[in-house]
Amino acid sequence: MIKREMLLFEQGGPENTEATLEASCRRAKELGIKRVVLATSTGRTALKALDAFKGLDVQIIGVTLHAGFWKVYVAPDKDMVAAAEARGARFLTATHSLMGNVESAIREKLGGAQPVELIAHTYYTFCQGMKVAVEVAVMAADAGLVENGEEVIAVGGTNEGADTAVVLKAAYTTHFFDVKVREVIAMPR
């Protein structure tokens, strides 16, 4: 049996970023995890992660919104991304595996829920950050930034910042059902 602490926030949001990243850092040290995959629209959360994981041999992989969402939400900030890359972070901008893909376009044009969106909404039953954390880990695996089956820490959030972190076994989109959420480090309740 394993006993350990899990952070539960009263509300989701960017005010939980520091605590989420600190708890993720502790868990990465305990488990010897070498890669942290996180959602970062502008690059700000990646910079905060670099500070939180400073001195630890961990690769920070920032996953941004795909370009089709930039006008709706926000584009990566070139200066923040460059600053994070200069400190060793890697970035990925790609089609989202669960929402914002071809099936989303079918729903918008023709209506009806598509199968992959049902999966996304199932993760939403935990919280928005859970869906995002799983999604960015799958995207990073598809891009070859993490290995299929590798245990990583995946971090997501509610709109901005980070409020959800999990330990999971990553998988390619083509092996999606091999993704295994092993532990919840932090999430809003």
Domain-located, residue 52: yes
Domain-located, residue 135: yes
Residue 64 has pLDDT above 90, yes or no: yes
Domain-located, residue 126: yes
Domain-located, residue 17: yes
Domain-located, residue 36: yes
Q: How far apart are CA 31 and CA 187, in angstroms?
A: 19
- Ramachandran class of 161: left when φ > 0, alpha when ψ lies in -120 to 50, beta otherwise: left
**Residue from 52, 44, 54, 43 nearest 20 by CA:** 52
**Residues 157 and 187 sit within 8 Å (Cβ to Cβ):** no
In a 10 Å sphere around its CB, with 0-12 CB exposed, 13-18 middle and 19+ buried, how is residue 108 labelled?
exposed
Residue 30 neighbours by CB under 8 Å, 6+ apart? none
* pLDDT tens by residue, 136-154: 999 999 999 999 999 999 9
Domain-located, residue 139: yes
Domain-located, residue 157: yes
Domain count, the chain: 1
- Model confidence band, residue 73 (pLDDT cutoffs 50, 70, 90): confident
**Residues 28 and 58 sit within 8 Å (Cβ to Cβ):** yes
Task: Supply the DSSP symbol for 172.
Answer: -
- Domain span at residue 31 reads 7-188
* pLDDT tens by residue, 9-44: 999 999 999 999 999 999 999 999 999 999 999 999
Domain-located, residue 1: no
- What CATH number should be reported for the domain holding residue 116? 3.40.1380.20
63 forms beta bridges with: 39, 92
Residue 111 has a CB neighbour count (10 Å cut-off) of 7
CA dist 73 → 1, 16, 40, 64, 86 (Å):
43, 20, 12, 11, 25
pTM above threshold 0.95 = no
**Residue from 114, 127, 135 nearest 163 by CA:** 127
